[in-house]
Structure 1
Amino acid sequence: MTVTHRKRTANDAEKDIAEAGVKYHCDPCSRNITDTVRIRCAVCSDFDLCVSCFCNGVELGKHKNWHDYRVMEQHSFPIFDTEWGADEELLLIEGAENFGIGNWQDIADHVGSKTRDECEAHYLQVYVNSDTWPLPDMSKRFDMDPEAQAARKRQRLAMRVNRVPAPVKAQKPMTSQPANHEIAGYMPGRLEFETEYENEAEQSVKDMLFSEEDAPEEVDLKLMVLEIYNAKLSKRLERRKFVFDRGFLEYKKNQAAEKKRSPKERELINSMRVFAQLQTPEDYDKFIEGLLKEMHLRERIAELQEFRANGLTTLAAGQEYLRDKTNRTSLRHLMTRDTGMNDRRNARPLPQRANLDETPSPRGAAAGNKAAPVIRKPANPLNIQNAEGIHLLTVPEQALCSTLRIFPKSYMIIKEQLLKEHARLGGLKRRQARELIKIDVNKTGKIYDFFVEAGWIQNSDA
């Protein structure tokens, strides 16, 4: 095997620069030889060998052990900084070209032996802040003995092998949420909508051509069509600007603001949106704010008039009245729901009609052919052992609720209303209890009698 020695040319230097940052493997044994000395065949294209395969004379494919070769070694000598070798400088420049200035973490991963901060500081100091900018200072000379250079190379290789990878930033979990283009058909990259105002406006001018053979009337007609088309484009831009200025594309922000408003406020705002085109954003916001304030004042006036109609003269009494009114409404709703549920659950078939072949009783015969009144069987007691709030009732109260088929939660609301009204008036009549509790009068009467017997209510009728 012969060794060829020739003078390095500019093409060789460019080739070395292009090879910087590339991973090399031994073609016969596939060993990683990126950071070690490698043997490159001068005859075969892109064929590298490690030192062991080269010494053993390994042949593979068209490669023969008598081919000319070149010894390729990493350029670990410094050229701009004692802590940076020439190979690291090449990797730094190549990383900046591939990933762009500013992506220092990717550049550091490409260099391998330097951290993100070291790459950024070295690039700014050597290349950006150079006295000979835009080129680095090429006049520097570093005299290093071979032993120090070899030790530094081993240190850099050890740093590259033991380098701790950069921590991965915790990413937020992916959520499936609608985007702007899914809600309003908006395309952020083009600042356009999928369906624009006068979306078919281009159809009238897409095939229009001006030629020297056109008559003056034809030219005037085409100019008129272009004028109409430009007017449509102007209106389209106005509407697009209106959407952008009012922030209608910020659907998350608008949705959160709408959730904070009451149904009446949302209805008022939706009915007044037609006036947004006639006002600036500031004037429209003041206009809506004034309407909402007026609506709240009207509601407050109606509330105070209701207090006065019910004989209330203080705000504290009015607030108590509103709480009682809310409780009565919720009680009525619960009772209606529970009664309907019980009726559906415990529905019983109607009593069968009497057999016509049976001999009618003398009393029935004297009454003629009229059917005898059907006696309604009382409903079975309600099983409330697993009902919510059963532990808050005494044994007699549980028996009462089971007999009257009332759930404990509804009974506690009725009890609170009756006792509160009794404490306010100093006594309570049966008629007042029935007016206060809007349920079956028979159930209200039995509850009233139970409270009187228990001593919780003083009967004002006596």
Structure 2
Amino acid sequence: MTVTHRKRTANDAEKDIAEAGVKYHCDACSQNITDTVRIRCAICSDFDLCVSCFCNGTEIGKHKNWHDYRVMEQHSFPIFDTEWGADEELLLIEGAQTFGIGNWLDIADHVGSKTRDECEAHYLQVYVNSETWPLPDMHKKFDMDPEAQAARKRQRLAMRVNRVPAPVKAQKPMTSQPANHDISGYMPGRLEFETEYENEAEQVVKDMVFGEEDLAEEVDLKLMVLEIYNSKLNKRMERRKFVFERGFLDYKKNQSIEKKRSAKERDIINSVRVFAQIQTNDDYKKFVDGLLKEMHLRERIAELQEFRANGLTTLAAGQEYLREKASRQTSLRHLMSSSVSNDRRNARPPPSRSNMDDNSSPRGAVAAGKTAPLVRKPANPLNIQNAEGIHLLTVPEQALCSTLRIFPKSYMIIKEQLLKEHARLGGLKRRQARELIKIDVNKTGKIYDFFVEAGWIQNSDA
């Protein structure tokens, strides 16, 4: 086999620099030869062999073993730092160009032999804090014997091979939970709400102009309007501060706390929530904790009185009594449910309409030839005490949702759409509300009447 070496040119050096960070595999055995010496054919385009295949004289396709070749080796000598080789410097710069400065985790993965902190510290020390900024110090010299350089290269390659990749954080499964924007129209990026308190306050002062020809009475009137506007802004800021300080926007946290409370505790908290407006956050928490403690004490006293009434004198006997009581109640519920199911199975079917005469009909009190009006029984109120978003509704709104059998989340969406349409049009008719909300027209009408009575919507029908 004829071995010849052609002279390296500037284009070859530039090509080697451009190829830093590229993965190489032997075209014969497909072995990864990125971090070791490889043999590149000088005639065939993009053809590399490992040392073993080259020594065996492997020929593939158009490549012949007598072709000229070049020995390609990683540049492991240091140029700016003894712990960093020239090839690592090239990979660092290439990673910074590809992923951007600051994305050190991806840059470290690109370098391969350095950690995230090492890449960041080296870049800041060599390139950013350099005395010859914006260029690094190009006059450094390192005297390293070939054996030390080879040992260092083997160490670096071993580190690259044995490096443990960064653990991938497990992502939580996506859940359909309402965000702050969906519940209350809150925009976290702007620290504002879509519909603020006194949302139309700016309409009065937006066109106000003070001129030199204004009379004293006109100036006083304008100042009075500005004072009223400032008072509205102060109230708006107070309400916003109240919402932020009480943490009402932290939906998930509040929901987890609510789930841990019992039904009686939630009833007490909902009944005294109105007092939060006249108390500080700490005072209100102490007030609620005191009420809950009082409730627990009353329950414990009633439990002890029940023990005494049944002749129990020790706490151990009382606990045994409670367990037996719970067991008896469970058995009684099962017995009642089985009895009801048996009665339903044994019940006689109602007589057919063909066997019923006019006097035995369900409308027996109605004379022959006349029909009685069919009275529809109203549906039972919906229990929404444990529903999502119940804490965002006032007591009248909770009663409305329970009567109309609408969940709080759906009600908040309906409320948002109606108020937006009212703000856009300056008024809202009942017909427009029914066309906007595609639910039962009777429910929409009752919601519309509730908003009119509350002063949230101006009735345009009048």
Using structure 1 for the length normalisation, give the TM-score. 0.50
